[in-house]
Amino acid sequence: MKSPALALAAITVASVAPTTAVSAAPDARFLRALDRLDPKTRLEQICDLEAMRRMSQSKSAGARVDRAKSDVIVPPQHLGNTLVAKGGAFRAGGKWYQMSFTCKATPDHKTVLDFSYKTGAAIPPAKWASYGLWK
């Protein structure tokens, strides 16, 4: 079971996902929630938020992205201040899709410095529960 701080950060990520430009900074509530997380989880959260922002702006997602998770199919790799997620997923238009990304953050894991991603195929609803995804 995830810690209360992690759950708070996940809720905050979902609730503060900006619809403005990618350069918009996370709000103060999100940054306070990040302070309560261990560095690895903080990196995952800030990178998941960046994935949501980037894909929401891209036409490749097809709809506004309201969730992104780096750890769905394959756990992400933590390489210092860089997160490599080869088995992540994002939700857009009520459907989940595969994604992968590389995200480099500042040493405090509160600001993304570099981000690149690829989107993949839709994940069949029959697999959602086994991946910990929801409707």
| pLDDT tens per residue across span 89-134 | 999 999 999 999 999 999 999 999 999 999 999 999 999 999 999 9
**Total domain count for the chain?**
1
Question: 11-34, pLDDT tens digit by residue?
Answer: 334 333 333 333 345 678 888 889
Helix (H) or strand (E) holding 83: strand 82-92
In this predicted structure, what is the pLDDT of residue 61?
56
Q: How far apart are CA 47 and CA 51, in angstroms?
A: 6
pLDDT at position 80 over 80: yes
Report pTM. Answer: 0.78
The torsion angles phi and psi of 57, rounded to 5 degrees, stand at -85, -20
- Helix axes of 4-16 and 39-57: crossing angle, nearest 10 degrees: 20
Distances in Å between the alpha carbon of 36 and those of 7, 10, 62, 112? Answer: 11, 12, 34, 18
Q: Which domain holds residue 14?
A: 4-131
